[in-house]
């Protein structure tokens, strides 16, 4: 079943006297094990799209479905539970806790589910190993490189076994070499563990790691392409 489906979604904001259509009739899907990259210049609506996908904003028109369930009808408590159990987030600025060991950072979100610290660490350990940082498990972020910090953030996003990971410019603070390694990691996790990944990025290198690439401009999808790089008209996407 399609993990995430946006169907003709519209979202607008009031900015002073103007109404800005941040998302203007966008439709896209993310399948399990698929990495979808979303390009666009600043102000194109990428982050808004991510917020809609993460049930942090409600569309003004259209639907957002997760595993077939419409997210817009959920209460605050339900959306919290939804995020806790089925989503993972990766931010550009990592949002790790300073001074907290990497393994505790990685298992952090499991505390929200009621896990003890010991249980959270145990659950996070394999993911930390998966991202190649098991030997630095007790290191706080201050003693990790930027690339390593992002790896810890990815481990955190995966620690609860999510169905979908939403990544907002995860390589924005990284140099080219580290950025590529992060993208590779996300792609590997997506393909090997069947996790859907929706990646918002400016990084052109993402195209070679993504299964599908969308370009957003002024709230509209202007192009979509498969991993081969061939253009896939946006209109053709609505049917899938």
Partner 1 sequence: MRPTVVPWLYWLRLRKWPVQELLALFGIAVGVALVFAVQVANSSVTGSVKQMVHGITGSSDYALVGRDQNGFAETTITQVKSAPAVAAAAPIILARAAVTGPEDRTSVALAGVTPDFADLNGSLVRSFGGEYGVRLTPNSLLLPESMASRIGVGPGDEIRLDAFGRAQRVHVAATVGSGQVGALADSPIVVGSLSFVQSLTGLDQRVTHILVTPRAGREDEAHESLRQIADDRLDVVPSDNESRLISQAAGPNEQSTGMFAAISMVVGMLFAFNAMLLTIPERRRTTAEMRTQGFSRSQLTTVLVFESLALGVVASLCGLVLGDQLSRHIFPAEPGYLSFAFPVGHARIVSAQDVAIAFGGGLVATLVATSRPLFDVFSSRSVDEQERAADLPSVRVAPHARRLLLVGAAALIAFAAAVLVVRPSWTHAGIVALGIALLLVLPSTLAGALKFAERASHGAGGRLLFVAVFELRANTTRAIALAATGALAIFGSVAIEGAHRDLQRGLDDFGAAYVGTADVWVSSGGDENALLTTPFTVPSALRALSSSEAVAASRFDRGGFVDVAGRRVWLIARQPARRPPIPPGEVTEGDLRDAVARLRDGGAVIASSGLADHLGVNVGQQLMLPTPTGTVPLRLVATTTNLGWSPGTLLLSAADYRRLWHSDDVTAVEIDLNPGTPPAEGRELVQSALAGTSLTAETAGQRLDRIKRLTRQGLDRLSQISRLMLVAAAMAMAAAMSAAVWQQRRRLAVLRSLGFDRGQVWRILLIESALVLAVGALLGAVFGLAGQILATRWVALTTGFPSIFSPAITLAGATFLGVSLVALLAIAAPGYAASRVSPQASFD
Question: What does the binding site for partner 1 look like in residue numbers (CB under 8 A)?
Answer: 47, 50-51, 54, 56-57, 76-77, 80-81, 83-85, 89, 91, 95, 97-100, 104, 108-109, 111-118, 120, 142, 156, 160, 168
Which of these, 140, 151, 197, lies nearest to 173 by C-alpha position? 151
| Angle 178-37-128 from CA coordinates, rounded to 5° | 45
DSSP 73: G
* SS3 state at 99: coil
Strands 18-30, 164-168: parallel, antiparallel or unpaired by DSSP?
unpaired
Question: Whole-number minimum distance, CB 213 to partner 1, in Å?
Answer: 21
Residue 74's φ and ψ, nearest 5 degrees, are -80, 150
Q: How far is the CB of 47 from partner 1 (least distance, A)?
A: 5
Residue 223 token pair? 């192009």
Is the CB of 97 or the CB of 194 nearer to partner 1?
97
Smallest gap from Cβ 88 to partner 1, in A, equals 9
Nearest CB to partner 1, comparing residues 89 and 224:
89
Q: Give the Cα separation of 157 and 160 in Å (integer).
A: 7
Backbone phi, psi, residue 157, to 5°: -65, -30
Give whichever of 31 and 140 is closer to partner 1, judged by the CB atom. 140
Cβ proximity to partner 1, 85 vs 217, nearer residue: 85
Q: How far is the CB of 77 from partner 1 (least distance, A)?
A: 7
Q: Which is nearer to partner 1, 67 or 113 (CB)?
A: 113
Smallest distance from the beta carbon of 10 to partner 1, in angstroms?
A: 17
């Amino acid at each position: 079943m399609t993990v995430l489906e946006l169907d003709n979604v519209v979202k607008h904001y009031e900015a002073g006297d103007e109404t800005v259509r941040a998302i203007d009739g966008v439709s896209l899907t993310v399948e399990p094990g698929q990495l979808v990259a979303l390009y666009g210049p600043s102000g194109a609506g990428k982050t808004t799209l991510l917020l809609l996908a993460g049930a942090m904003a409600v569309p003004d028109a259209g639907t957002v479905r997760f595993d077939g369930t419409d997210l817009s009808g959920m209460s605050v408590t339900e959306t919290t539970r939804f995020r806790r159990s089925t989503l993972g987030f990766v931010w550009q600025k990592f949002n790790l806790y300073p001074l907290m060991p990497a393994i505790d950072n990685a298992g952090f979100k499991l505390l929200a589910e009621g896990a003890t610290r010991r249980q959270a660490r145990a659950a996070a350990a394999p993911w930390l190993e998966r991202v190649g940082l098991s030997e630095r498990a007790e290191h706080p972020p201050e003693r990790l490189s930027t690339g390593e910090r992002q790896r810890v953030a990815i481990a955190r996003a995966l620690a609860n076994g999510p169905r979908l990971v939403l990544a907002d410019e995860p390589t924005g603070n990284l140099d080219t070499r580290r950025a590529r390694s992060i993208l590779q990691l996300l792609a590997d996790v997506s393909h090997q563990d069947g996790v859907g990944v929706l990646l918002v990025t400016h990084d052109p290198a993402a195209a070679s790691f993504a299964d599908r690439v969308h370009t957003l401009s002024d709230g509209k999808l202007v192009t979509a392409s498969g991993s081969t790089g061939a253009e896939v008209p946006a209109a053709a996407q609505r049917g899938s």
